[in-house]
Copies of this chain bind each other. A is one copy, B any other.
Amino acid sequence: MFINNLLSTKPPLLRYFSSLEPRILKTGDILRQTRIFSSEDVVEYSKVSHDSNPLHFNSESARNAGFDDRLVHGMLVASMFPQIISSHFPGAVYVSQSLHFRLPVYIGDEVLGQLQAVNVREMKKRYLVKFSTKCIKNGELLVLDGEAMAFLPSLAME
């Protein structure tokens, strides 16, 4: 999903682009995708990360720690950021990411991952792009934010 100049009052220019014309990433552009994490996702992520923190598997442990129920792993939620970048820019190379976990994500929550390009710089035939990154759940609650930097092989979006 791609929104150009979200805060502008002008109609979005990209609406009039032909589907054959590449969409070129610019400062201010926003990339978004939503996802709902399932119980199976938590199990599969735990297997590959070897992270078996009881907060993810045992509702009572999660409630004892002050949560409503067992949590989705924060780093699995954060994996949305490089996933969204690489889905639009295959071959992107991740440089950095900061993550502030603000609120829990529970199984079944609808999570919107959103990246906004805040700086675009050409470097050695590649593009170093700084994104502000956030995840919002159930349409309103900020659960995770931070910043990402990635080298993109091109600014043309897939």
**Given A74-B82, A75-B75: A93 touches B49 (CB 8 Å cut-off):** no
Given the complex of chains A and B, what is the CA–CA distance between A153 and B62 in angstroms? 12
Q: Is the Cβ of A65 less than 8 Å from the Cβ of B153?
A: yes
Given the complex of chains A and B, what is the CA–CA distance between A15 and B76 in angstroms? 37
Q: Is the Cβ of A91 less than 8 Å from the Cβ of B44?
A: no
Given the complex of chains A and B, what is the CA–CA distance between A44 and B48 in angstroms? 7
**Given A61-B91, A101-B94: A41 touches B48 (CB 8 Å cut-off):** yes
Interface size on A, residues (CB 8 A): 39
- A22-64 toward B: CB 8 Å interface, digit per residue (1/0)? 0000000000000100000100110111111111000001001
A98 within 8 Å of B by Cβ? yes
**Given A96-B99, A101-B96: A83 touches B49 (CB 8 Å cut-off):** yes
Q: Which chain B residues lie closer than 8 Å to A52 at the CB level?
A: 86-87
For A35, the closest partner residue in chain B by CB is B50
A 65-102 contacts with B by CB, 8 A = 65, 73-76, 78-79, 82-83, 86-87, 90-101
